[in-house]
Structure 1
């Protein structure tokens, strides 16, 4: 059974998806919305995502590493972390995601199942609240299982 935002006892959480593959982004958005999350307008550009993040302060940003044009999701993740917004990499570039462990809280490698992504989001949001009761989804790589330190960089 998939845990929804309402079932886990939290208010609706706001999420951001930054993904250059439109079909992947739309499928993921739809699955997350059906599970009770509020998903901000989809974007595939670094500058747009940063502006939206500053205005909306999502609880979690799901960021692909390769974005539209020559935009780089790792650079975006650095800026989001500085704003106190946690990032989950959603990318097939597993080695690049792993090399950027200091700017994200985890990685979900492509290809992933949208339902598995919902479980990963629920798990990470629960951990960010200090709740360790949910099982970690198999595909999800968590970079700092102990810390979940999201304090903005000094």
Structure 2
């Protein structure tokens, strides 16, 4: 098909967010974008359990989570598993560029999240993209690119 839509890289997303309203809003935005939310959790252990039982193309994670472990701990685990993680936070870690594919700064609106999801999908596909305001993208590894 000459003018068909580009095949998506990101189809299944895991949301890790400790603020219930933000988590709910993110779920609705992702579903409206045609993405499957495999689970939404607010702590590290629940996130690991979801990763063990589900195929995940992208993790959206806050840095601060319920419990002792953080989104930074989750980013280390995601990196080991070759799963791209996007921090969605007001306070990104100094080494975010080593742990994630990018950061979407809070606060953000629905439009920014939609544009960020499109940019991330293109970024993971190796295509040029212009990140929307509030999104910083980092170079991706071969594992994160699905190569």
Segment drifting more, 51-60 vs 105-114: 51-60
Question: What is the rounded CA distance, in whole Å, between the counterparts of 1:35 and 1:42 in structure 2?
Answer: 16
Do 2:10 and 2:57's aligned partners in 1 also have CA atoms closer than 8 Å?
no
Task: State yes or no: 1:82 paired with 2:80.
Answer: yes
Segment drifting more, 14-23 vs 54-63: 54-63
Identify the match of residue 130 of structure 1 among 122, 126, 139.
Answer: 126
What's the RMSD between the two structures over aligned residues? 2.0
Report Cα offsets for 1:72-101 as digits up to 9, x if no partner. 10011100111110000001113x2x3232
Normalized against structure 2, the TM-score is what?
0.86
Aligned to 1:3: none
Question: What number of residue pairs does the alignment pair up?
Answer: 141
Do 2:96 and 2:102's aligned partners in 1 also have CA atoms closer than 8 Å?
no
Report Cα offsets for 1:27-74 as digits up to 9, x if no partner. 011011011000122100101111211322311100100001222100
Question: What is the rounded CA distance, in whole Å, between the counterparts of 1:129 and 1:11 in structure 2?
Answer: 7
Per the alignment, do residues 12 and 61 of structure 1 end up closer, same or farther by CA in structure 2, a change over 3 Å counting? closer
Task: State yes or no: 1:110 paired with 2:102.
Answer: no
Identify the match of residue 63 of structure 1 among 51, 54, 61.
Answer: 61
Which structure 2 residues correspond to residues 4-153 of structure 1 after superposition, within 5 A? 8-10=6-8, 13-94=11-92, 96=93, 98-132=94-128, 134-144=129-139, 148-151=140-143
Contiguous gaps of at least 5 residues in structure 2: none
The structure with the largest strand share of the pair is 2
